Structure 1
């Protein structure tokens, strides 16, 4: 059971307040204030971990986000003289904040130094405001940047995770790959990226729930995890396959909607091909993680379901089967 300390609860509230202020504001200055409130709330959350590398990750995160915020401020006076250059700087700053390629260099190292719950926050909640800003800033110049960043994110996310043995780095490169799909959804319409982001958040939470409850940080730990429990094996397999977009699981639906928009709008086939090929690459290292725990797990360990925390972590992963019950409803609603 997750119990927040008083200071963690306070900073979590201000973090959400910063997101709400930024998303609901009609002024760029108020939006920037919301971004800064969100940043200054997340830094203490990162440093509150007992991990000795958390301070280093917090410093890296602060420097990168400060650079992004400074770039946003620098673009304000340029918007009156050279508007296209201002849009280019703002788009680049937002891509830097979300860790999309080619500005992804900080994302895996920061993920490696923080806990699983903080990683989940970094992969999901911290991306809401920059993505919402990109969605409202779709011009000709920014759209070209988003396309280039989406293609490069798909390549980096697919190839970067192949040679990794640390689970947090694997999930971080997975997040970069999903960022490519999110940028594609942003370029189409707001409703599409909201659907994709909501699905991605739920699926990521299901994966993190298993990895956090079993404290898995290295690939080898999957071989010695308490996996005599068949429901735990199945939950991990379903979560990873859903994260890779395998039909008919939950992760397949938003990707199918993005592909449908590509076909209807007749957008660049090279862009779509890079997304599909990278999805196959990510699915490969998801399967490598899942099969390691399924086939090579040690038979000498006790069942992990004896721990109530592990038992509760199985509820969320099986939500990935929900599209089997209502796929037509989601498609009609969309």
Structure 2
């Protein structure tokens, strides 16, 4: 985990961060590709673990999919350099470049690796894969996107993200499908403006970080663990608040960026798209609420010897974050015109 990292892992983590900066600040497609490659090769040592077969499998799957996406990306930009001297928009090429980048971040229709890989990772690595690893491909997509293609992908992302999470028992897979759903929203923000995308990503990362931190602290990987373990009620409440915020329920901060996106879509007369987004958010909320309801209401085995002692400072921190989640929506109402 992050707090007992050795120097090798820290080294790879720094390379991971800097490779994203290389891609973003590069002034050629080739430089972007190089940043993506460095990113891939620095993330694999972070996720592979000799003692855990699942994480070794996950790192292999991750390597294969990402290298296929990289080859595709490189092929597309070379085609672009060879065939087109002037920078005109070509449907085929833009779809090729967009597809390879969508595969990089685990979007529909290249999402099949994403829940499988996440299933084998620790919570900290899940957090990196769901937040930081999406930054580079998204910014590269914003440089050169095919609007109609992207709208179609957005719709499928939100639908599959919502429907795929319904039958999941693993919390990690649930968070993966939640991430696929939020990816649809994020692609919408990319089409609107980069600032809005940064805001959405920031809020989303904030919420995901609390969830991953909580689950890691309580050592939770499956839904039934939430019922069995004799929780401190405050932990249950903060879990409750953050789940609802992640689903985008109005009094919480997770709703604020979605509100802005809905507004922009309505201004641009994309009513069908807005309808699909909102409906799929409802399905997401359905399975979040199902988990919360079960963990609150079930009078499960109270295992007396199985109590969890949470360090006081960490606990105060989590409650503080949950408070931010509630309060900030009230403040944001005043700033929204």
TM-score (norm 2): 0.92
Equivalent-residue separation in structure 1 for 2:46 and 2:273 (angstroms): 37
Contact 2:229–2:302 (CA under 8 A) maintained in structure 1: no
Choose the corresponding residue for 2:241, options 235, 238, 243: 238
Gaps of 5+ in 2: 85-89
Contact 1:108–1:172 (CA under 8 A) maintained in structure 2: yes
Q: Deviations over 1:36-86 (max 9, x none)?
A: 111111000001474321010001001111011101111123224373322
Output aligned runs, 1:223-302, within 5 Å.
Answer: 223-227=227-231, 229-267=232-270, 269-296=271-298, 297-301=300-304
In the superposition, relative to structure 1, how do residues 28 and 238 fare at CA in structure 2: closer, same or farther (>3 Å)?
Answer: same
In the superposition, relative to structure 1, how do residues 314 and 261 fare at CA in structure 2: closer, same or farther (>3 Å)?
Answer: same
Q: Deviations over 1:242-266 (max 9, x none)?
A: 0000111110000000001011122
Contact 2:220–2:226 (CA under 8 A) maintained in structure 1: yes
Equivalent-residue separation in structure 1 for 2:37 and 2:162 (angstroms): 31
Choose the corresponding residue for 1:81, options 75, 80, 83: 83
* Equivalent in the alignment of 1:208: 212
Contact 1:205–1:316 (CA under 8 A) maintained in structure 2: no
* Equivalent in the alignment of 2:36: 35
1:5 paired to 2:6: yes
Output aligned runs, 1:1-334, within 5 Å.
Answer: 2-48=3-49, 50-79=51-80, 80-81=82-83, 83-138=90-145, 142-227=146-231, 229-267=232-270, 269-296=271-298, 297-301=300-304, 304-308=308-312, 311=315, 312-328=317-333, 330-331=335-336
Structure 1 stretch displaced more, 142-151 or 302-311: 302-311
In the superposition, relative to structure 1, how do residues 27 and 145 fare at CA in structure 2: closer, same or farther (>3 Å)?
Answer: same
Gaps of 5+ in 1: none
Contact 1:88–1:145 (CA under 8 A) maintained in structure 2: yes
Contact 2:186–2:197 (CA under 8 A) maintained in structure 1: yes
* Equivalent in the alignment of 2:87: none
Contact 2:154–2:184 (CA under 8 A) maintained in structure 1: yes
Equivalent-residue separation in structure 2 for 1:294 and 1:49 (angstroms): 37
In the superposition, relative to structure 1, how do residues 95 and 330 fare at CA in structure 2: closer, same or farther (>3 Å)?
Answer: farther
Structure 1 stretch displaced more, 126-135 or 299-308: 299-308
Instruction: Compute the RMSD of aligned alpha carbons.
Output: 1.9
Q: Secondary structure at the match of 1:76?
A: helix
